[in-house]
Every structure is written in structure tokens, then in C-alpha cells.
Amino acid sequence: MPSKAEASSGAHKFAKSGVKLRTVKAKNGTVKKIPILPKSAYALATERRRPKPVLRKRKPKQLKLKKNLSAGAVCIILAGSHKGKRVVFLKQMPSGTCLVTGPYKLNGCPVRRVPQHLMVTTSLKIDISGVKVPANMDDKYFSKKKAPKSAAKKTKDGDIFEEVKQKYELTEQRKQDQNTVDSQVMAAISATKEKALICAYLNKPFELTRGMLPHKLKF
């Protein structure tokens, strides 16, 4: 039978499990045996390491195109440096953006990516079933490359006003791919009976004039 001191402290339970005990003498002269526990037993609940929850990995879903947006549809860009220009929709990129072209010969809009919520689809559609976009024209192809850090920032005495912004330089590969796509699109436009009207339509930018209500327009 355990003594009263051991029974009150529960030391007899730890002795059976093999936990080491230490003797402590109280002020009233009684001697107690207290188990030697690891430091983690005295830590607060907030200090204990909790297992991290397993996060579910979800595959990114590609955005669905609008019902009236298909290959060959003529769209109007609503924002950006080419806003107001009419372009030909080529295909949807893996990132969900839309690949369009002016063509560049007609309105100066090159092959570029535009989000579909920044375009208005018109009722005009061109048959571009024979147009083949180069395989190298992916999202990485259109991503901007970061310019290397200038030496003016690295040196202590460097002047921030000495830095010159690097201008975008068009590569020969980009020019070649632009000509490849535009030549096929122009050939598709030339095959239609209304070639002159389509070219004039793509050449003229869209703009609202006096008396035109946007919510009543039929594109």
C-alpha cells in the first residue's frame, strides 16, 4: 500500500511506469516524491507544436469563354494602350487570356494577350480555320523580362537620377511570328467578298459620339 504522501501526489502511479522520482521536503516537515517530467509537460498549450493541417491542392480551372466569343470573332479592346481598336480573336491561352491581332498592318495592334473582360465581342466573324498560330507563342513568350539592377543602386554614391529606363526592343523572332500570323489573317480577309468593308472596319477605332447610348448599341 502506498503512503498518504505518495497517494496524494500520485507518485506510486509513476513508479510503476518507470518514471524517475525526486524527493521534496515541505515546510511542515513532510517528504513528498514528485515525478521528474520532461520540459514539454510544463509548456503551455499554445507553445506546443501542433501538426499543420494538410492543404488540399486544387488544380486551376481555365476560364470559360463567352458564348459569342469564338475563333475569328472581331472584338473591341476597352482598356490599355490599344483601347478602342478592333482586333481579331485567335485563340484562348492556357492562362485564360485571349490572343488577338489587329492585324498590325491595318490598325497597328500586334499579336498580344488581352483578358476577355476587357473586350466587347461584335457580330462580325471571320473564317480563320486555316490560320495556324506558331507553337512557340505561349504565355512565357509574352511575359516581360525583368531588367538587371543598375550599378547606381549598388554603390553608396550612386545617383538615382543617373538611371536610364531601358526601352523595349522588338526581336527578330517576334517580327517573324507577327508576319506569319498577320499574313494568314489577311489572306482569310481577302477570301471574303466584303474585303474592303472589313479592312475599313478594322482600321477605324471605336468611339462614342454625341447621341450614342452604350447600353442601346448592338455590336
Residue where the block lists cell 529606363: 165
Q: Are 131 and 201 in contact (CB under 8 A)?
A: no
If you ran DSSP here, which 8-state letter would residue 216 be given? G
Question: Nearest-5° angle of CA 46, CA 51, CA 56?
Answer: 130
pLDDT tens, 84-121?
Answer: 999 999 999 988 899 999 899 999 999 999 999 999 99
Fold of 73-143+171-216: SH3 type barrels. (2.30.30)
**Can you give the pLDDT at residue 86?**
94
Whole-number pLDDT of residue 148? 60
Looking only at the bridges linking them, the beta strands covering 86-92 and 73-77 are antiparallel
Q: Which three cell numbers stand for residue 195?
A: 474585303
Identity at 36, one-letter amino acid code: I
- Decide: 98 and 197 in contact? Cβ < 8 Å: no
142-181 residue pLDDT tens? 887 766 655 555 555 555 555 556 666 778 888 999 999 9
pLDDT in tens, 5-48: 555 555 556 555 666 777 888 778 788 777 777 766 666 655 55
Residues 127/187, Cβ–Cβ less than 8 Å = no
Q: How far apart are CA 206 and CA 217, in angstroms?
A: 12
Q: Could you tell me the pTM of the whole model?
A: 0.64
> Amino acid letter at 79?
A
Domain residue limits, the chain: 4-39, 73-143+171-216
DSSP 110: -
Provide the b/e sequence for 140-172 (b: ≥16 CB within 10 Å). eeeeeeeeeeeeeeeeeeeeeeeeeeeeeeeee
CA angle 85, 87, 93 (to 5 degrees): 125
Half-sphere exposure of 41 (CA within 13 A, CB side): 4
